[in-house]
Amino acid sequence: MNGLYRNVFQGGMKVSNYFMGYHMPEYVFGRGLIKKLPQILKDKDAGKVLVVTDEGLVRAGIAGMIEDLLKEAGIEYELFSSVKQNPTSDDVEAGYKTFRENDCDSVLGVGGGSPMDCAKGICAKAAHPKKSVRQMQGLLKVHKRIPELFMVPTTSGTGSETTVAAVITDAETHRKAAINDLVLIPSFAVLDPELTVTLTPELTATTGMDALCHAVEAYTNQLYNTETENTLALKAVRLIYDNLLPAYKDGGDIVARENMQLAAFYAGRAFTRGCVGYVHAIGHTLGGLYGVPHGKAMAILLPHVMRAFGPAAHDRLAELADSCGITGKDSAETAEKFIGWMEETKRNTGIPEKPDMIKNEDVDQMIRWAMKEANPLYPTPVLWGYDDFRSFIDSVRE
C-alpha cells in the first residue's frame, strides 16, 4: 500500500467522522449503583433480557448477584455464560441462538471485554440473522437497528461499554478482527467500581495496561481526533499513571478502582473516534493464534511499538508524559522517559517483556492479518509495510 492511497482514504475518513454521530452511552458511575440496573432496564423498556457473561463471573458470584437483582424486580431474563476468553464467532452464534429461542428483546453484557464484545456480536447477529460474523467484520457493515444493549463492566480496561467495536475471533481461521459500527455503542452503561475489587492483581495489571494502550494509541494517532478525544486520552493516561499500581497492590483500594474504571471509560471513548494502531493490529494476532488475553498482548507490545515509531511519535508521547509530570530536556528524551515508565510498570506487575509465544511459521500470517486490519484505516504516526512489520516482529523476539 502506498502512502498516497492511505492519505486519501484517511482524509475521507477525517471528513466523514464529523457526520457520523459519535456519542457516549448514557451511564451512571459510582459505588453500589449496580442496584439501579433493574430500574434502568425498566425505564428503557428492555423487555426480556439476555444476560451475556462468562463462567468466571458465574463462579465469582457476580452473575448470580445480577440474576438476583433481576428476579427481585420481576424482570424476565435468560443467562448465556459460555463466552471464551477471546470470544469466537461460535460464541456469537450460540449466544444469538439463545437470544432467538428464548424470545429475548434486549442484551446485557456483564464482564470484561470478552462478554461485552460477545454481547455486541449477538446484537449485530440479531440485526442480520443471515450474515456470518466474518461478513460483518470491518467498517459499518451492521448499519441497522440492533436490540437495546446494556453494559456492566467488571474490569477496567477494554472500554467496550462505550465503543463502536466488537472484537471477535473467527472460529475457523483464528483471525481476530472487529465489527465496527456506530449502532454498537451501548444504550446504557452501569459503572460500579465495587464490581472490580475482586479482580486478581494480574487482571488488574493487564486490563489497566489495555486502557493505557487505548489512550496512547488514540493520542499518538491524532488525525481523526477532536479536542474532546485528546482531552479524554490525556485524562485517562494521568489516571492510570496515578492509580494502576495502587489498584494492583491493594485490590480493595476503592478510590484507585474508581479512577481506573473512569480511565478505561475515557480511553474507550477516545479511541472510538481516534482509532487504535499497530499495537492492536499485531496484538490481535497473538490472541487469535495463541489465545493470549487481549490486555496482556497490548501490555507486552505497547512500549515496543511506541519506541519503534521513533521521532514521528516523540512530540505526542512527550505531551502524554507532561500530563503525568514526566519531563526531559526535549521531546525525544521526554518520550523515552514515558516509554520507560510503561516498561517499569510492566516489570512491577509481572507482565512479560517480550512476546515469546510467536512461532516462526506464523509470522507471515501475522503480518498479513495486521496489515489488513491497520492499513489504511489506522492513522498511525508512521506507515508500516510488510518489511517493517517483519523487522519489528523479529526485533521483539530477539
331-390: pLDDT as tens digits: 999 999 999 999 999 999 999 999 999 999 999 999 999 999 999 999 999 999 999 999
Rounded CA separation 44/32 (Å): 20
pLDDT of residue 3: 82
Residue ranges of domains in the chain, CATH in brackets: 23-196 (3.40.50.1970), 201-397 (1.20.1090.10)
Rounded CA separation 378/388 (Å): 16
Rounded CA separation 55/124 (Å): 23
pLDDT of residue 52: 98
Give the strand order in the sheet containing 49-52: 26-29, 188-191, 148-153, 106-111, 49-52, 77-80
pLDDT of residue 1: 62
- Mean pLDDT by runs of 10 across the 398 residues of the chain is 85 87 92 98 98 97 98 98 96 98 98 98 98 96 96 97 97 97 97 97 98 98 92 98 98 98 97 96 98 97 98 98 98 98 98 97 98 96 97 93
Report phi then psi at 172, rounded to 5.
Answer: -85, -50
pLDDT of residue 288: 97
pLDDT of residue 50: 98
Q: Are 149 and 109 in contact (CB under 8 A)?
A: yes
pLDDT of residue 398: 74
Query: What is the pTM (predicted TM-score) of this model?
Result: 0.97
